[in-house]
Each structure stands twice: as C-alpha cells, then as structure tokens.
Amino acid sequence: MAVDATLGIRRPYTDCISGGGPTTAAMLRCAHDEFIFQDKRLNDIYRTLTARLSVQDKTELRSAERAWLVDKKRRCALPEDPGTTDQVTSADCEVREAAKRAAELERRDRRTSASVSEMPVTIKAKESPRLHSGRLFDSVTRLG
C-alpha cells in the first residue's frame, strides 16, 4: 500500500491487517507491535523537533500535540458495545494516527533543519590570518 509506505507503516503490519490475520487476537498483536514502533517513532521525532524550536514554537507544538491526542482518542474510540471488528478497527486507527502524526512532524523537522542550514553565515576572522590555538576564526554566527 503506497499510503502506508508514505506514513512509515511497516509491511509486516499491513500484510497482517490486510490479509485478515488468522485470528482477531493475532491482528490485535500485530497492531500492538506496530503501535509500539509508531509511538516510539513519534516520541523520538517530537524530542528531536522540540530541541530545535524556539520557546514559543515549543509551546505551540505542545498545544498542538495535546489537541491531536484528544482528537485521536475521539476518532479511534470503540463504540459502546464493540465487536471484534471494532477492536481491530480501533487498534488500526491508533496505529495509523500515530504514523500520520510522526510523518507530519518528520516533514516539519526537515523544513526546520533546511531553513536553519540555509541561513546566511558570517565568519569573523582574527586580525591576523595565522592560526591561533589551532583555530582560524573567532566565531561563526548564523544570521536570522
């Protein structure tokens, strides 16, 4: 499934779920394993991204994450009297929502990294171009 690949969902999971799995319990195990993977992926990129953001951007991201969690809980909730299909559907929803959010944050991180690396760099040379303590430059300053 092309959509799964763009979200970073692993093939064994899609094979398990799309193939119907031998039992509901087996499909739920597949979903659990993939959720653990996607949740770790999401947490890792969240930590990486927040390390690069300004205080204001971190606050905004934290608020967006909280809103996303509430929305995901609503979208993936089981109905009042769930059947086995509902359980698999809910578990699959949790996996896909975590993968989708991780992919969104990874794209944001790439944009953030690219914009930082594209900032102009000013190099301040020492008065003498000779090396001093093994360094030619006092500092490298990013403008922006």
pLDDT in tens, 24-57: 999 999 999 999 999 999 999 999 999 999 999 9
The CATH number of whichever domain residue 83 belongs to comes to 1.20.1270
Are 8 and 90 a contacting pair, CB within 8 Å? no
Prediction pTM value: 0.75
pLDDT in tens, 60-86: 999 999 999 999 999 999 999 999 999
Q: Tokens 């205080």 appear where?
A: 55
* Strand, coil or helix: 104: helix
What pLDDT, on a 0 to 100 scale, did the predictor assign at position 18? 86
The answer to whether residue 52 sits within a structural domain is: yes
51-57 long-range Cβ contacts below 8 angstroms, 24+ apart: 52/109, 52/112, 52/113, 52/116, 53/112
* Domain range enclosing 42: 2-119
Tokens coding 85: 């299909």
The total number of structural domains in the chain stands at 1
